Homo-oligomer: A and B are copies of this chain.
Amino acid sequence: MANKAPLVATLLLSCPDQKGLVARISQFIFQQGGNILNLDEHVESEEKMFFTRVEWSMAEVRISISEFEKEFSELANAISAEWEIRYSNDKNRLAIFVSKYEHCIQEILWLYSIGELNAQIKLIISNHNDLEYLARQYNIPFHLFPVTAQNKFEQETKELKLLSENRIDTIILARYMQVLSNNFVKEYPFRIINIHHSFLPAFMGSNPYRQAYEKGVKIIGATSHYVTEVLDEGPIIEQDVTRITHRDSPKDLISKGRELERSVLVRAIKYHINSRVLPYGKKTIIFE
Contacts and interface: CB of A to CB of B under 8 A. Distances in A.
Interface residues of A, number: 59
Interface stretch (A39-47, A153-161, A182-190): A39-47
Given A30-B20, A42-B246, A246-B42, A219 B217 contact: no
B41 A23 contact: no
Interface in A172-226: 199-203, 214-219, 221
A235 interface: yes
A253 to B, nearest CB: 13
The DSSP consensus for interface residues of chain A is mixed
Nearest to A52: B39
A249 interface: yes
A183 to B, nearest CB: 26
Contacts of A249: 45-46
A118 interface: no
B39 A283 contact: no
A249 B106 CA distance: 26
19 contacts: A19-B60, A20-B36, A22-B30, A23-B31, A24-B30, A27-B27, A37-B43, A38-B43, A137-B137, A201-B202, A201-B217, A214-B282, A214-B283, A215-B236, A215-B283, A218-B239, A219-B239, A245-B288, A259-B263
